[in-house]
Structure 1
C-alpha cells in the first residue's frame, strides 16, 4: 500500500481516539502529542512482535491485518517518514520551521538484539538500539535523558522520570516543532490580556493580533469556530501549490468543550469559508510527556503490555518483558513570520468580500489545535490548551 489518503485517514482516526483517551484522564490540563510520532513508534515496535501481539498493535493503530498486508503498512509509514517535505528524522527541514523526530530502543545490556530487527528499524525509522544497565537505574535514567537532550539540541531536557523494577526494554519517541507563521503577527499589537482557564482561574497571557483574510468557519453541529493559519516554509514552496502545513485553531462555544471533544472527527473540520477577520491567539510554547501504556491498553493494544506479550522478534526470546513506551513532544510558536508574505486563499467553498466591521475571534479560553499537512491531510500534532502559561 503506497502512502495514501486512506492511510492518512486511518492515522487521523487514531489521533482522535488517542486524544479522547488522554483528554478524559486530564480534563483540566494541557494535552499535546504527535500522532505521527506515536503511530510510527508503534509501527516500529510491531516489527519485533509476533502472533497476537503483532495484530493487537496494528489493531490499536487502526489497521486490520486481514485487510492490509504488513509489508504495505510498513511501506506506508516508511514513506511518511522519508518522503514528506516537512519531516525527516533528526534533520532540519525548513529555514523558518524545524521538525525533528527520533526513535530509540534502550535494552538491557545482558540481552542481544537480533540483527534483522536492528537493521529494519534503522532502515525504516532511523531508530537506534542502545544497551543499558537497568540494574543501575540512576545511570540508566541519565543515559536515556542525555541521549534525548543531545538529539534535540537541548529542547528536551528530561523525558524519563523513573523506571519500574525489572525493566528490560524502553522505547523512546520524541518530536519537536519550531515554526513561524506565514504572515507575521505585529509585535506592536501584542498585549497582555486575561485567559480564562476555568470559572475560578484566570491567567495573564500575551495575545497576538492579526487582521487578515483567513479560512474559517463556525460549525453549528460541533458548536465551535475553526480558523486555519498557515506556517512559513519556503523550503517546500516548489513542491506543493498553496500552503503545505497549517495549524487549525478550534474554539468551542461557551460550555461546549465536552460536546466538541466527543464529536470531533477528521471530516468535521474540512469545510471552509474565507473572510476578513480580527484574530487574537496567545503566544505560547507547549510540551508534554506520556508513558502511553495505559492509554494504548484502553485502545485495544493489550497484548503488547502484559505478560502474554510476544516480542520475540526483537531478541529471539519469548519471555521479554513488555516495554515501557514514552512519547515526548515540544512545540514553540512565535509571533514572527514573513513581513512580505502574501496570504492566499485557495480551495475555499465560498469567498466573501471584507465585511465592515470585520468579525473578531479571540482565543482567550480553552481551545484545541491541530497541525495538519494538507497534501495528505496527515495530523502532525494535536493539542488542547487549557492554560498557555503551563508551558
Structure 2
C-alpha cells in the first residue's frame, strides 16, 4: 500500500539576520492599486503626524539644535532596534506563529464540502497584529497575549524585521488599508500601520477593487476573494501572502501516473501521483509522533515539511501535543536518495474565523473591543475572513493566502417583526400564559402583494452608501 502524504505546512527554515535588515529605511515593495486617496479631503499626507514606537510618542525635532546626548525616546528606539534584531526575538516570534497555527488547526473542523484545511498562520498573525496597533487597554493586552503571550518587547518593530527577511525569500507579502468614503481614522494609527506593516490607505470604491488587489498581490493565484462588501464597513485591514518555489530536485512529468490515495482503512481516491525512485530529501521516523517526517527542499531557503502518521489519519489534537516544529526540523538528517510518491493537487480553503478565534479566547474582539487607537466612538470587528490555496506539481509549489479584518461601527441590535410569529403574553412572576397565539397576517383586510412589487424603486440602491456624517 502506498503511504499517503498529508501536507501540513510550509516550514520557514531560516530566520537569521540578513543584509537587507541592516538598511533601516529598506523599501518594501507593495503591489500598486489604483490611486490611493487621503483619509480626509484636504488632509496632507506629505508631513506625517508624530508616530509611535510601542505606544511611546516620538516627535520630530529637525528644527531643534543638535545635541550630543541622546534623548530618552532615542534610547528607547535604539533599544527596540537591538531587541528586534535579536535571534532570540525572532525565534520567539517564530514559535508564536507556529503556536497560533496549531491552535487554529485544532479548532477548524473539516466538512464534506471542505475536507482539507489550508491556512497561513503568517497571514492571520499579520492581520491580528495590525489590528492590535489600533487596540487599547484590555483589548490590546488580549491580542498581544494570543499573538505572543506577551513575551516579545517592541513586538511590532520585531515582526517588521521578520517580514523584511521573508520578503528576501520566495515569499511576497502585501498589505493595504481600505477606508469607507467619509470615515476618518486617527492619523497615528495610519502612520504606524504604514511604518510597521507598509499598509497604505485607500478609499473603498467597489468589491472589484478589493478582489483585484488580492488577485494582483497573489500573482493571479487567488481570485474572487470576497463575495460581497458588508454595508456597515468602515475600515478593512487586508493582507496577502504569496509563495512560489521550485523543487531543489524536480519530478519528471513522464513518470507521473494514476495512483491511489488512502482516505482511511476502507476508502481511497484516484490521484495523479508524481514518482521518483531517487529523490533527494531528508527523511526521519519519529517514534514519539508515530509518524514519518520528510523535508522537501526548494531552491531557496524554503522547504515543505510533511508529517505522515503511521495510522493513516491525521489527528491534529494528538499530534500537536507532541509536536515542536523547530525541534523536529533540527533533528532531520542529511538529504539522501529516497523512493517517493507525491500526489499532485490544487486545493482552496476559505473560512470566516470569528467562531474559531472566539474559541481561542478572542471573543471580546467581536463583542465589545476597545479600538480607540483607530477612531473615536464604539467600533467592533465584524469579520475576519481568511482564504488560502496551494498547488503542488512536478516543478514545485505555489501557495497564496489573504486575510481581511472588517471593522464597523458598533450599533444596537436590529429586530424587525415583519413575518409570521408566535406570541405569549406572560405573567413574569408565575409564568402563567395569559394569552398566546400565532400571527400570520396583522392586517387581514389589506390587499396581498407580490414580494417583487414592494420596494422596487429602491433596488438600485448602493450596497455601500457614502457616509455624510461619519459618527
Normalising by the residue count of structure 2, what TM-score does the alignment of the two structures yield? Answer: 0.60
Structure having greater relative contact order (Cα 8 Å, sep ≥ 6): 1
Q: How far, CA to CA, are the matches of 1:153 and 1:295 in structure 2?
A: 29
What's the offset of the Cα at 1:248?
Answer: 0.7
Q: How far, CA to CA, are the matches of 1:181 and 1:297 in structure 2?
A: 38
What's the offset of the Cα at 1:261?
Answer: 5.2
Query: Could you list the runs of 4 or more consecutive aligned residues of structure 1 that deviate by over 4 angstroms after TM superposition?
Result: 25-28, 198-201
What's the offset of the Cα at 1:14?
Answer: 1.7
Question: Structure 2 regions of 5+ residues with no counterpart?
Answer: 1-82, 402-471
1:217-249, Cα deviation, whole Å (9 max, x unpaired): 11122121110110012xxxxxxxxxx211111
- Judging changes above 3 Å, is the alpha-carbon distance between structure 1 residues 280 and 249 closer, same or farther for their aligned structure 2 residues? same
* The one of 290, 312, 322 aligned to 1:223: 290
For the 8 Å contact 1:169–1:324, the answer to whether it is kept is: no
2:325 aligned with 1:266: yes
Please show how residues 58-137 of structure 1 align to structure 2 within 5 Å: 58-64=144-150, 67-69=151-153, 72-82=154-164, 84=165, 87-88=166-167, 98-132=170-204
Q: How far, CA to CA, are the matches of 2:215 and 2:302 in structure 1?
A: 26
Please show how residues 21-60 of structure 1 align to structure 2 within 5 Å: 21-22=107-108, 24=109, 26=111, 29-60=115-146
RMSD: 2.7
1:45-71, Cα deviation, whole Å (9 max, x unpaired): 11111111111111121322xx543xx
* Number of residue-to-residue matches in the alignment: 308
1:288-314, Cα deviation, whole Å (9 max, x unpaired): 2332222222112222211x1111211
2:349 aligned with 1:288: yes
What's the offset of the Cα at 1:10?
Answer: 2.0
Q: Partner of 1:146 in structure 2?
A: 212
- Judging changes above 3 Å, is the alpha-carbon distance between structure 1 residues 180 and 19 closer, same or farther for their aligned structure 2 residues? same
Three-state SS of the structure 1 residue aligned to 2:303 is: strand
What's the offset of the Cα at 1:169?
Answer: 3.0
Q: Partner of 1:177 in structure 2?
A: 243
What's the offset of the Cα at 1:199?
Answer: 5.6
- Judging changes above 3 Å, is the alpha-carbon distance between structure 1 residues 278 and 62 closer, same or farther for their aligned structure 2 residues? same
- Judging changes above 3 Å, is the alpha-carbon distance between structure 1 residues 256 and 329 closer, same or farther for their aligned structure 2 residues? closer
Question: Structure 1 regions of 5+ residues with no counterpart?
Answer: 134-138, 234-243, 338-368, 372-379, 382-391
Q: How far, CA to CA, are the matches of 1:57 and 1:194 in structure 2?
A: 44
2:390 aligned with 1:331: yes
2:374 aligned with 1:314: yes
For the 8 Å contact 1:173–1:326, the answer to whether it is kept is: no
